[in-house]
A = this chain, B = another copy of it.
Amino acid sequence: MLSFGCRTTHPSFRKQQKMTAAHTHDHLTLDEVAASCRERGLRFTDIRRQVMGILLNSEKPLGAYAILEQMTGDGSPAQPPKVYRALDFLVGNGFAHKIATQSTFTACAHPGQPHTPTFLICKSCDSVTEAEIPSSPIQEAAKATGFKVEGAVLEAEGICPDCA
């Protein structure tokens, strides 16, 4: 079951969740990220804010160079390390996720707690939904072998409800 507050790029799925524009749990706001950083003693710099804003604004996950293209604000031609460093920060602190099978990045839909997101990627419409699996079965499978899991990537490709 999807947790409440899941983030999906699929417009009509969002409608199903009966979210409102005013107070959506679809994702964070920049101010909330800023507050979280303040609490945790992290520096939410201009570049990081800019990248986070671009991710929050996007319907779909974005590649690093797609983000780069949107960073034309300051006049100087943005360089890759700028984006990758910001993404490292955002992913490392749980504000965004990397989708490994696509080499794209997306804002986190379940902020607050460290978690292992599951991404459901529609082959037909390219929408990506961040679901949450209650108790990770990977943990169990690994535990049986003595492997200590510190982080996991779960990504599924298929057909979303609206395309089916």
Q: Tell me the A residues contacting B by CB distance below 8 Å.
A: 1-2, 100-101, 118, 120, 122-123, 129, 131-133, 136-138, 141-142, 144-161, 164
Q: Given known contacts A100-B100, A144-B1, A145-B2, is B137 in contact with A150 (CB within 8 Å)?
A: no
**Total identical chains:** 2
Residues of B within 8 A of A1 (CB): 141, 144-145
Tell whether, in the assembled complex, residue B156 and residue A155 are in contact, meaning their CB atoms are under 8 Å apart.
Answer: no
With contacts A120-B147, A147-B156 known, what are 20 further pairs, Cβ within 8 A? A1-B141, A2-B144, A100-B153, A118-B138, A118-B141, A120-B142, A131-B141, A131-B145, A132-B141, A133-B138, A136-B137, A142-B156, A146-B161, A148-B158, A148-B159, A150-B157, A150-B159, A153-B154, A153-B156, A154-B154
Residues of B near A155 (CB, < 8 A) are 100, 152-153
Chain B residue numbers with a CB within 8 Å of A151 are 156-158
Q: How far, in angstroms, from A136 to B145 measured CA to CA in the complex?
A: 18
The docked-state distance in angstroms from the alpha carbon of A142 to that of B152 is: 17
Given A100-B100, A101-B100, A137-B137, A123 contacting B150 (CB threshold 8 A): yes
Shortest CB-to-CB span from A151 to chain B, Å, is 5
Q: Chain B's nearest CB lies how many Å from the CB of A11?
A: 15
Q: How far is the CA of A137 from the CA of B158 in the complex (A)?
A: 15
